[in-house]
Structure 1
Amino acid sequence: MILSRVIGHFRKQEWTAIFLDFVIVVAGILIAFQITEWNTARQDRAREISYLTRIRADLQGDIDGLAERQRYWADVAAAGRMATGYAETGALVDGSAWKTVRSFFWASNVWFYSPNDTAFSEMSGAGDVTLIRSEKLRIALSNYYSNSAKIVRAVVYTAIPAYRQAVRGATPIAVASYIVNECHSHGPVNQRMLDCPAPVSEAEAAKILEVYLAHPLLVDGLRFWITNLDQLAQSVEPDTAAATALAAAIDSELAK
């Protein structure tokens, strides 16, 4: 339609009309490009919001998970201190040989931690990190989820103490199984050490304590593990602060 009009104007040498047709064509092309650009920008923003919303949820999981582990590790350390108290002074936990055995065993508990990087890994794998408009936020997220950060956290949060093998190896299998199944609540986001009745007599529990104290490395290993637990508790603070700061930055970005 436009082409036939232009040809007609050329034949009649209607230069003003030709110029107007040219302007109409160019304007149409520019408008089409602009509409496409707007649509692309809107789609990119929608994808950015989707990714950031999921990453924000992952970060909240990290914050909550660290808080739960900090509480749990404090409970484990407390059990360890009661056990070492018996080893050093002979004072039974609440006057009970069974509760003292249980404290020795509880002190060997571990609960690993690693950040949930599902959403960011998906975003990075798809090459969509540049969808995040804020360069500062992109850099902060990349640092938080970097391989080097993962390695450091793996070293700090997934250590298995030698004490764990020592005390569990010195505990009768029936007693160990009882403590694991009846004196502990296992959950993906929440773990608790539970009060539970004694499965053995006080005399039998006292014999288990004798085995513990006769082990050449058990008590020393427990002291070392308690020190590590204290360091774990300290490590939680900067990691929680980092996750909290990122969550706040994402909230700010989503509010724009």
Structure 2
Amino acid sequence: MPISNDVLTRNNVKVIGTGSKTLMLAHGFGCDQNMWRFIMPVLEKKFKIVLFDYVGSGSSDLSQYDKERYSGLEGYAKDIIEIGEALQLSDAIFIGHSVSSIIGTLASIEVPTLFSKMIMICPSPCFLNFPPDYLGGFEKQDLLELLNLMDKNYIGWANYLAPLVMGDNNPSELTGELSSSFCSTDPVVAKGFAKATFLSDYRHILKDIKQPTLIFQSKNDSLASPEIGRFINENITGSELEVVEADGHCLHMTHPEQITNSIFEYLNK
């Protein structure tokens, strides 16, 4: 069907690997599917893998960007649903990094048959502080200033955020790669995605996740603290939390072997 081809081109979808089970890997804000390359060699030996770029990221079709559609995470969830429909997926396993964990959750609630299990890497349902009940890590004013910096000095914004995301004690090449990835994203698209990511509150949807869920949390993460991991774990029935002795928000890049081992262990239960 033409619509399938349109969707697969729009989101630069690639299907690789072999196996009876399918994994869909969804990248985080400011990233693209290339960020999964550290865990791919192991996973593709056992699974069929679906990789894609959100509209406006990586090698997606930028002409398909719709400011209204992508003003909230629901628009990105629609991308995931449409990719699933185009590939006729059901009972796939979803692996989402950061905000994609929430995007995948929205998709799983909308189409419950799409995913049989969810795996979240450094997720956060809300980056805002609502003391004393919930501390997402940031005051709203600080996030608004960060968004304002995107308008004033986009390169400066990328160079500030990348080390924060990648974390201390990790290779500088990875921080540089992340900064370059931020810079290569169209600023209008990046700001829309940033607003949808950092100013939203999706805590209320966690209780609606019906799939078994594995949550990876970094012990030292400037964007999502271990407390957030515990909050998510407490609010998703049938979830497991694994706190990794690590710095940063990109465990699939900094600790690929540990992440792949844990994924295999979890999926083989």
TM range (shorter): under 0.3
The structure where helix makes up a greater share of residues is 1
The structure where strand makes up a greater share of residues is 2
Bigger relative contact order, structure 1 or 2, given CA contacts below 8 A and separation 6+?
1
TM-score normalised by structure 1 residue count: 0.22
